[in-house]
A and B are shown apart, each in its own frame.
Chain A
Amino acid sequence: MTKYIIETTQLTKKYKKTTVVNNINMKIEKGKIYALLGRNGAGKTTTMCMLLNLIKPTSGQIHIFNKNTQNHQKEIYKKIGSIIETPGFYENLTAKENLKIFTKIRGDYNENQIQKVLEIVNLKEENKKYKQYSLGMKQRLGIAAAIIHKPELLILDEPINGLDPVSIREIRKLLQKLVKEYNLTILISSHILNEIEHLADVIGVMDHGKLIQEITREDLHEKTNKKLLIEVDNKDLAKKILTNKGLTENIDYKIKDEIELYNHFNDRSTLNKEFINNGINVNRLSLEEENLEEYFTNLIGEI
Chain B
Amino acid sequence: MLTNFIEMEFLKLKRSKIFLVTLLGCLVIPFLLSGEFLYMQSQGNQLLFDLFLSESNLYFLSMFGVVLFAVIANHLFTREYNEHTLKSILTLPVSKTKYLTGKFSMYLLWILILSIFTFLSSSLCFILLGGDGFTWTIFFKMFKELIFGSILLYLAMSPLVFLSILMKNSVFIMIASAGIVFGNMLVYGKVFAPLFPWISPFIISAGKLGEYTYGTLTPSLIILATFIIGVFITWLYTYKSDVPL
Residue in A73, A82, A101 whose CB lies within 8 Å of B12: A101
Interface size class of B (residues with CB under 8 A): 20 to 34
Q: List, in ascending order, chain B residues with CB within 8 A of A170's CB.
A: none
**CB–CB A97/B92 < 8 A:** no
The 7 sampled A-B contact pairs (Cβ below 8 Å) are A49-B242, A54-B245, A74-B93, A78-B93, A89-B85, A104-B8, A105-B89
Q: Are A82 and B91 in contact (CB under 8 A)?
A: yes
The minimal Cβ–Cβ distance linking B3 to chain A, given in whole angstroms, is 10
Given A49-B243, A56-B242: A101 touches B91 (CB 8 Å cut-off): no
With A101-B8, A104-B4, A104-B7 known as contacts, the answer to whether A86 contacts B84 (CB < 8 A) is yes
Bound CA–CA A247/B172 (angstroms): 77
In the assembly, what is the distance between CA of A162 and CA of B94, in Å? 29
With both beta carbons as reference points, the residue of chain A lying nearest to B3 in the complex is identified as A104
Given contacts A52-B91, A105-B4, A145-B88, contact A84 B245 (CB under 8 A): yes
Contacting pair A88 B15 (CB below 8 A): no
Contacting residues, chain B, for A85 (C-beta < 8 A):
84, 245
Residue of A nearest to B89 (CB): A105
Which residues of A have CB within 8 Å of B15? 92-93, 129
Within 8 Å of chain B (Cβ to Cβ): is A106?
Answer: yes
Instruction: State the CA gap A107–B1 with chains docked (Å).
Output: 8
**Tally of A-B Cβ pairs under 8 angstroms:** 83
The verdict on A77 contacting chain B, using a C-beta distance below 8 Å, is yes
B residues in contact with A89, CB < 8 Å? 83, 85, 88
The chain B residue sitting closest to A77, CB to CB, is B93
Chain B positions within 8 Å of A281 at CB level: none
Q: Is A45 an interface residue (CB 8 A)?
A: yes
Q: Which residues of B contact A86 (CB under 8 A)?
A: 84
Interface contact B91-A54, CB-CB below 8 Å: yes
In Å, the complex CA distance between A74 and B95 comes to 8
Chain A's nearest CB lies how many Å from the CB of B82? 10
CB distance from A128 to the nearest CB of B (A): 12
A136 within 8 A of B: no
Cα distance, A167 to B15, chains bound together (Å): 30
Q: Contact: A80 with B14, CB < 8 Å?
A: no
Asked if residues A54 and B88 are in contact (CB atoms below 8 Å), the reply is no
- Closest residue of chain B to A79 (Cβ to Cβ) is B93
Residues 1-21 (chain B) with a chain A CB within 8 angstroms: 1, 4-5, 7-8, 11-12, 14-16
Asked if B87 CB lies within 8 Å of chain A CBs, one says yes
- Tell me the nearest residue of chain B to A73, going by C-beta: B93
A41 to B245, alpha carbons, bound, how many Å?
15
- Residues of chain A in range 235-255 having any CB-CB distance to chain B below 8 Å: none
List residues of chain B with CB under 8 Å of any chain A CB: 1, 4-5, 7-8, 11-12, 14-16, 79, 83-95, 242-243, 245
- Scan residues 100-145 of chain A and give those whose CB is less than 8 A from a CB of chain B: 100-102, 104-107, 129, 145
Whether the pair A77, B91 counts as a contact (CB closer than 8 A) is yes
Closest 9 CB pairs of A and B: A88-B84, A77-B93, A88-B85, A54-B243, A55-B242, A92-B15, A106-B92, A101-B8, A85-B245
Indicate if A91 sits at the interface (CB-CB under 8 A): yes
| Bound-state Cα–Cα, A179 to B16, Å | 39
The answer to whether A92 and B14 have CB atoms under 8 Å apart is yes
Contact call A49/B245, Cβ cutoff below 8 A: yes
Q: Does residue A90 face the partner (Cβ distance < 8 Å to B)?
A: yes
> Separation in Å of the A81 CB from the closest CB of chain B?
9
Residues of A within 8 A of B79 (CB): 90
Residues A88 and B83 in contact in the complex (CB < 8 Å), given A100-B11, A104-B8, A107-B4: yes
Across the interface, A54 reaches (CB within 8 A) one of B87, B92, B95, namely: B87
- Is A53 in contact with chain B by the CB < 8 A criterion? yes
Say yes or no: B92 contacts A102, CB within 8 Å: yes
The answer to whether residues A93 and B88 also contact, given A77-B93, A88-B83 and a CB cut-off of 8 A, is no
Most buried by B among A88, A91, A107: A88
Residue pair A77, B92 in contact (C-beta under 8 Å):
yes
Q: How far is the CB of A111 from chain B (nearest CB, A)?
A: 14
CA distance A84 to B91 in the complex (A): 10
CB distance from A46 to the nearest CB of B (A): 9
Give the nearest-CB partner of A85 in chain B. Answer: B245
- In whole Å, how far is B24's beta carbon from the nearest beta carbon of chain A? 18
In whole Å, how far is A190's beta carbon from the nearest beta carbon of chain B?
17
Residue contact B245 to A45, C-beta cutoff 8 Å: yes
**Are the CB atoms of B87 and A84 closer together than 8 Å?**
yes
Chain A residues with CB below 8 A from B12, complex form: 90, 92-93, 101
A31 at the interface (CB under 8 A from B): no
Q: Which residues of chain B come closer than 8 Å to A82, judged between CB atoms?
A: 91
Closest to B98 in A: A105
**CB neighbours of B14 from chain A (8 A):** 92-93, 97
Chain A residues lying within 8 Å of B245, measured Cβ to Cβ, are 45, 49, 54, 84-85
B215 to chain A, nearest CB (A): 44
A89 to B84 CA separation, bound complex (whole angstroms): 7
- Contact B87–A88 (Cβ < 8 Å): yes
In the complex, what residues of A have CB within 8 A of residue B90's CB?
A: 53-54
Give B84's nearest chain A residue, CB to CB: A88
